[in-house]
């Protein structure tokens, strides 16, 4: 197995953690180590965790650190190889045939090929990071197809032959664990589970991402969000919602709203489900007051 001990000047998990921080992603030792090993070993990185813990943001930060373009493949139920790999531009092929008349024409040339995310990553492995987002939403047939791709990093286009990556592309997969992934897929990856950060680190994230938010506001929001996550909500607020809530409450406060009323009036950026809002409404004042104390 080829090992790349130095990736764009990054020769340790600690160096990668520092680089990610410069890209406005506050990584703990676990995710920094898993990400470094993924890059060094040339293996895909599989990040699992609840929605909103920063899995997609981690991929964006890795791409920023490497100075590469992020190519995102959003998975969904029923996704197939055509949506992930390539398609032929059928209308353009038909038009070319009509225009060619009696002349011969190669309708499988480059100009007729519609490049999808996985093919794009194969053809430019040194300039891209492929994010396969929410793989657990795809069905098992697509997951089986993905196994072959992650094993050899090559695809076969019947009309053009085999396309093989010149080097292992950087691939990040995310999963919300709505279903179990196949063991064979896990074996091909460096794995890391991302949990919600502790209150101290989440407050630092809020202040890093929302520079106009005061430390006291960030800590109050983090405390309130922590309480909300312990409630039986259909959609618990993630880190992005904590950042948005802190920014929104600060904006209202600057416009004249008093604390803690600014927190309460901006709750819609933290909770985005009508049933959740109705459920938490009777206790929202107490939660905010306790968090702001």
Q: CA dihedral in degrees (73, 75, 81, 84; nearest 10)?
A: -10
pLDDT at residue 5 in the model: 54
Q: What are the distances in angstroms from CA 288 to CA 205, 263, 292?
A: 20, 7, 6
In this prediction, residue 132 carries a pLDDT of 96
What does pLDDT average to over the chain?
89
Place of tokens 């398609």: 87
The pair phi, psi for residue 86, each rounded to 5°, is -165, 165
CA distance 252 to 42: 47
- For the domain 11-79+116-192, what is the CATH code? 3.40.50.300
Report the C-alpha gap between 246 and 220 in whole angstroms. 9
Q: What mean pLDDT is predicted for residues 156-181?
A: 88
Average pLDDT over residues 229-244: 92
**Which one-letter DSSP state was computed for residue 125?**
T
Tokens (6 digits) for 62: 């890795």
Domain ranges for the chain, please list them.
11-79+116-192, 197-290
pLDDT at residue 70 above 70? Answer: yes
> If you average pLDDT over residues 112-117, what whole number do you get?
88
Residue 251 has pLDDT above 70, yes or no: yes
φ, ψ for residue 266, nearest 5 deg = -100, 20
pLDDT band at 1 (very low <50, low <70, confident <90, very high): very low
Q: What is the pLDDT of residue 2?
A: 52
Q: Residue 136: its pLDDT value, please?
A: 93
């Amino acid at each position: 197995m080829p090992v790349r001990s130095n990736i764009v000047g990054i020769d340790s998990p600690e160096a990668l953690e520092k680089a990610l921080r410069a890209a406005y992603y506050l990584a703990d030792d676990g995710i920094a180590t898993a990400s470094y090993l993924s890059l060094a070993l040339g293996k895909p990185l599989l990040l699992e965790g609840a929605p909103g813990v920063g899995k997609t943001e981690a991929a964006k930060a890795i791409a920023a650190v490497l100075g590469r373009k992020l190519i995102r493949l959003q998975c969904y139920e029923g996704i197939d190889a055509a949506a992930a790999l390539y398609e032929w531009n059928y209308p353009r092929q038909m038009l070319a045939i009509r225009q060619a008349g009696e002349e011969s024409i190669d309708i499988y040339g480059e100009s007729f090929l519609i490049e999808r995310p996985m093919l794009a990553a194969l053809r430019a492995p040194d300039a891209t990071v492929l994010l396969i987002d929410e793989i657990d939403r795809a069905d098992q047939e697509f997951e089986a197809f993905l196994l072959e791709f992650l094993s050899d990093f090559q695809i076969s286009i019947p009309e053009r032959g085999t396309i093989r990556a010149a080097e292992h592309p950087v691939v990040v997969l995310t999963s919300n664990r709505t279903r179990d992934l196949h063991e064979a897929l896990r074996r091909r990856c460096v794995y890391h589970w991302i949990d919600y950060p502790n209150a101290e680190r989440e407050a630092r994230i809020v202040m890093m991402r929302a520079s106009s938010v005061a430390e006291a506001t960030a800590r109050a929001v983090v405390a309130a969000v922590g309480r909300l996550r312990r409630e039986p909500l259909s959609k618990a607020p993630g880190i992005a919602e904590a950042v948005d809530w802190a920014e929104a409450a600060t904006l209202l406060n600057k416009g004249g709203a008093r604390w803690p009323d600014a927190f309460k009036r901006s709750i819609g950026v933290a909770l985005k489900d009508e049933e959740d809002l109705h459920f938490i409404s009777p206790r929202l004042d107490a939660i905010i007051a306790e968090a702001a104390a």
